[in-house]
Amino acid sequence: MEMKEKNQDEFEKYKLEVAESVSAVQKKISEEKDNRKLVDFDSYPSEELKAEVIEVVKESIDVQDVGAVGLSVPPAHISGDFALEVFDLAKKLGEKPNVLAKKIADRINERELELIKDASVAGAFVNVETQKETLYRDILAKVLELGERYGESDINAGKVAVIDYSAPNIAKPIGVGHLRSTIIGQALVNLYHETGYSVIKDNHLGDWGTQFGSLIYAYKEWGDEKKIEENPIRELKNLYIKFHAFSEEHPEVKDNARELFTRLEKKDPELVALWKRFRDLSLKDFERVYRQLGIEFDTNIGESYFTEQTDKLVDECMASGLCRKDEASEAVVVDQMGEIPSFLLRKQDGSSLYLSRDLATLQFRVNTFKPNAILYVVGNEQDLNFKQLFALGKRAEYLPDEVETKHIGFGMVLRDGKKMSTRKGTLIELEDLLSQSVEKSKEILLKKNSDADPQELDKVAEIVGIGAIIYNDLRQSRVKNISFDWDKMLDLEGGSAVYLQYSYVRINSILRKLTETYGEIDLSTLEKGEIFFESKSEFGLAKKLMMFPETILRSQQSDSPHQLCVYLEELALLFNSFYNEVSLLRTEDTKLRESRVALCEGVALVIKKGLSLLSIKVPEKM
Ligand code: ARG
């Protein structure tokens, strides 16, 4: 009896811990809402330029609401700094695109404008020539003024997002599938925060379910305390694999496992104690990987916390006719809803399910955090599950219309073209993958610089190795399957984090050389009016810098960090051609040189900032 109380207390204690982390998050959110000062998106040169365009468009067609305008950078053979496409607007006005384009261009040419010089028409496009000097100065001044905050904006100020990511299953090593969720989720956390959201980083641990029945069964049969001491996760994983192999031959043990899970759900003290122990051991193990990836969650609540609410919710759904007890099996079923096939909400033995725990989680998040958006960063294969969850949540009114829920799906990680699985033991363990990447990075760095200081080398190899894994994931389209190709991941010529890191380091070394030759340059004294440029590539580079805040916003709005990667690679490419075209070290004219220094600083800053939004670090030297 005494023992029983103690262990029940253990579950209660765990719930208290959760409650504490929840109030800490609530406090963080409300403080951020009150005190965070964000950069006004409209103050960016790109937006000032667009505002000028909108003003002229309004004048030329005498319409007040022209909506947002998009300026794109035209291909090199077309003259003009930006192109304005009028297709949609023409459609809205019932006018021929080329006629509308001409009206706008004519109006631009009539007017004296601050940022726009003149315009010409090419089909449905208005090609805009800017007042390059002025725009160039505005861009560099903005980048230098804001420094590491350049790119931040207030577009989503005051909004709250819960981002559910990583979410590994305890008693198993984190695999590469969960690595994808972790990497993509963290990039979205950064992007959402950067555009004004307050973000709750929620690690929804898989710490409940029938598999704990299997694990407990295996532990009782074959568990070896000594091995568990030595390497808990490996041993737990082996037990799990052993159970599955054994149950193929002896299917009856699956019933034993199910029964054990039912007992766990009823909070059988002995089983709760075992479960808690597996959970603690696992979390400690996961923390190691999270530390290496530079990730810290706000909460690690997990499914277990919600099991107790599921009964109430299922009963409520039943009362409102959203589900029913199946006569034959006694399980609770939700019937087909339109396109969405029917599914179970409670098992026949009365246990909760992944989906019912998610339903309780959803209700909890809505009530506790009052979010505007909830993102579930989980593999594509769970697409149907989330459709079912969101549909039921809406019908049961746990999910109000104004809360946006999104399943952020992603493809699998393939090994030799095939899917990996814990059960079959073909999973690459994450820690092995990370250390392999760091090792390979070290080899490459050594090839470039064979007498690097060993300690320094280790530090840089860590940054490059971890960056390679993260970038390889994010640069590809999210929904596709990915694989690890070391040559590509560590390619110094492009398409990799190390290419960007290397570009950053290179700019810094140029800046150092410039300082050695010409002395320190105090950029803060560089007034707007003192910035000059000479070549086309300089202006091209500045234009690219101008697009950074907008790129961040688009990546956030489309939930695709991939867009930011494309931008960064284009920026680095432009820098490299500028570097080849212009001799920085031999720029004799002081003003021009200082302006070029400002431009280089700006590029370095944006590369560093862009990578940091992907949670990738940069070394100062390599
Ligand atoms: N632990 C789950 C899995 O590995 C992912 C959980 C995702 N989050 C959620 N709310 N369902 O499949």
| Domain CATH for 54 | 3.30.1360.70
Other beta carbons within 10 Å of 565: 23
Q: Return d(Cα 433, Cα 470) in angstroms, integer.
A: 12
Pairwise CA distance, residues 390 & 250, whole Å: 38
- The sign of the CA dihedral 306, 308, 311, 313 is negative
Q: Locate the ligand 1 atom nearest the alpha carbon of residue 358 and give its number.
A: 10
The answer to whether 169 and 279 are in contact (CB under 8 A) is no
Q: How many helices (H) and strands (E) does the chain have?
A: 22, 13
Number of domains in the chain: 3
User: Pocket of ligand 1, candidates 382, 384, 406: which has the most ligand atoms within 8 Å of its Cβ, to mutate?
Assistant: 382
Q: Which of 397, 419, 441 is the last residue of a domain?
A: 419
Distance 307 CA to ligand 1 centre (A): 15
List Cβ<8 Å contacts ≥24 apart for 272-277.
272/7, 272/8, 272/10, 272/11, 273/7, 273/10, 274/216, 274/219, 275/207, 275/212, 275/216, 275/304, 276/10, 276/11, 276/14
The tens digit of pLDDT for each residue in 563-584 reads 999 999 999 999 999 999 998 8
Is residue 206 in contact with ligand 1, taking CB distance under 6 Å? yes
Please tell me the distance from the alpha carbon of residue 614 to that of residue 574, in angstroms, as a whole number. Answer: 21
Residue 382 lies in a domain: yes
Does residue 440 sit within a domain? no
Q: How far is CA 269 from the centre of its chain?
A: 39
Q: What is the pLDDT of residues 132-183, one digit of tens each?
A: 999 999 999 999 999 999 999 999 999 999 999 999 998 887 888 899 999 9
In this structure, is residue 183 part of a structural domain? yes
Q: How many whole angstroms from 476 Cα to the centroid of ligand 1?
A: 22
Alpha helices for 558-614 (secondary structure H)? 561-581, 590-613
280 shares its domain with 350:
yes
Question: Could you give the angle at the alpha carbon of 445 between the alpha carbons of 492 and 517, nearest 5°?
Answer: 80
215 falls in which pLDDT band (50, 70, 90)?
Answer: very high
**Residue 71, strand partner residues:** 84
Measured from the CA of 169, which atom of ligand 1 is nearest?
Answer: 1
Cα R_g (the chain), whole angstroms: 28
Tell me, yes or no, whether 294 and 390 share the same domain: yes
For the sheet containing 71-72, what is the strand order?
Answer: 71-72, 82-85, 125-130, 116-122
Answer for the pair 483, 414: CB distance below 8 angstroms, yes or no.
Answer: yes
Q: Which two tokens stand for residue 470?
A: 């993260």
pLDDT of residue 320: 95
% of the chain at pLDDT higher than 90 = 74
Q: Is residue 22 part of a domain?
A: yes
CB of 559 closer than 6 angstroms to any ligand 1 atom: no
Residue 164's beta-bridge partner residues?
202, 376
Q: Which of 193, 198, 232 is nearest to 370 (CA)?
A: 198
Measured CA angle at 382 (ends 183, 311), to 5 deg = 110
pLDDT at position 603, please? 98
Structure token pair of residue 445: 């760095």
Burial 8-18 (b: 16+ CB within 10 A, else e): eebbeebeeee
Number of residues assigned to the chain: 622
Rounded to whole angstroms, what are the CA distances from 431 to 176, 416, 434? 10, 19, 5
Average pLDDT over residues 203-221: 93
Token pair, residue 488, equals: 């590509």
pLDDT value at residue 242: 92
Work out the average pLDDT over 201-221. Answer: 93
Average pLDDT over residues 354-383: 97
Mutation choice for ligand 1 from 162, 205, 310, 378, CB with most ligand atoms inside 8 A = 378
CB 166 within 8 A of CB 178: yes
Question: Looking at the domain assignment, is residue 601 inside a domain?
Answer: yes
Q: What is the spatial distance between Cα 239 and Cα 223, in angstroms, rounded to a whole number?
A: 7
Query: In which domain, by residue range, is 121 found?
Result: 42-130
Residues 306 and 209: beta-carbon distance below 8 Å = no
Mean pLDDT of 338-347: 95
The answer to whether residues 587 and 488 belong to one domain is yes
Mark which of 130, 165, 190 sits at the end of a domain.
Answer: 130
- With a CB cutoff of 8 Å and minimum separation 6, the contacts of 437 are 465, 466, 468, 469, 486, 489
Task: Name the H helices within 231-330.
Answer: 232-249, 252-265, 269-293, 307-319
Q: Please choose from 182, 204, 208 the residue to mutate so as to test ligand 1's pocket, defined by most ligand atoms within 8 A of CB.
A: 204
Residue 92 CB-density burial (10 A; 0-12 exposed, 13-18 middle, 19+ buried): middle
Domain containing residue 478: CATH number? 1.10.730.10
CATH number at residue 231: 3.40.50.620
CA distances from 326 to 48, 315, 334, 341, 344 (A): 62, 14, 10, 16, 10
Is the CB of 356 inside a 6 Å radius of any atom of ligand 1?
no
* 358 touches ligand 1 (CB under 6 Å): yes
Ligand 1 centroid, distance to 51 Cα (angstroms): 44
Instruction: Specify whether 6 is located in the same domain as 87.
Output: no
Pocket flag, ligand 1, residue 86 (CB < 6 Å): no
Residue 204 Cβ inside 6 Å of ligand 1? The answer reads yes
Q: What pLDDT score does 473 carry?
A: 96
Residues 109, 205 within the same domain = no
Q: What is the pLDDT of residues 252-274, one digit of tens each?
A: 999 999 999 999 988 899 999 99
User: What is the token pair recorded at 369?
Assistant: 């955090």
- In what helix (H) or strand (E) does residue 216 lie, and over which residues does it extend? helix 210-222
Q: Which of 130, 145, 177 is the last residue of a domain?
A: 130
Based on the fold, state whether residues 64 and 184 are members of the same structural domain: no
What is the rounded CA–CA span in Å between residue 356 and residue 303?
10
Ramachandran quadrant class, 120 (left: phi over 0; alpha: psi -120 to 50; beta: rest) = beta
pLDDT in tens, 591-609: 889 999 999 999 999 999 9
Distance CA 541, CA 532 (A): 13
What is the mean predicted confidence (pLDDT) over 515-544? 83
Task: Identify the pLDDT of residue 538.
Answer: 92
The CB density around residue 51, as the number of other CB atoms within 10 Å, is: 12
Of 274 and 421, the structure prediction assigns the larger pLDDT to 274
What does the alpha-carbon distance between residue 438 and residue 445 come to, in Å, rounded to a whole number? 10
Query: Which of the four pLDDT bands, split at 50, 70 and 90, describes residue 529?
Result: low
396 and 526 in a common domain: no
* Whole-number pLDDT of residue 417: 74
Based on the domain organization, do 254 and 116 belong to the same domain?
A: no
pLDDT (0 to 100) of residue 76: 77
For residues 434-465, b (16+ Cβ closer than 10 Å) or e, as one string?
beebbebbbebbeeeeeebeeeebeebbbbbb
Q: 37-73, pLDDT tens digit by residue?
A: 999 999 999 999 999 999 998 888 877 777 777 888 8
Q: Supply 156's token pair.
A: 């989503």
Say if ligand 1 is within 6 A of residue 376 CB: yes
Token look-up 């459709």 returns: 387
Do residues 298 and 329 share a domain?
yes
Same domain, 30 and 47: no
Domain presence at residue 63: yes
Average pLDDT, the chain: 92
* Any domain includes 386: yes
End-to-end CA distance of the chain: 63
Q: Ligand 1 pocket, 167 CB below 6 A? A: yes
Domain-embedded: residue 618? no
Q: Are residues 8 and 58 in the same domain?
A: no
**Both 399 and 526 in a single domain?**
no
Strands, DSSP E only, in 270-394? 324-325, 332-334, 343-346, 373-377
Q: Is any atom of ligand 1 closer than 6 Å to the C-beta of 611?
A: no
Distance CA 112, CA 224 (A): 82
Say if residues 101 and 86 touch (Cβ distance below 8 Å).
Answer: yes
CA contacts within 13 A on the Cβ side of 267: 15
386 CB within 6 A, ligand 1: no
Cβ–Cβ < 8 Å for 177, 139: no
How far apart are the CA of 305 and the centre of ligand 1, in A? 14
**71-120 confidence digits (pLDDT tens):** 888 887 888 899 998 888 888 888 999 999 999 999 999 999 999 999 99
Residues 222-258: tens digit of each pLDDT: 999 899 888 888 899 899 889 999 999 999 999 999 9
Over the stretch 297-336, which tens digit does the pLDDT of each residue have? Answer: 999 999 999 999 999 999 999 999 999 999 999 999 999 9
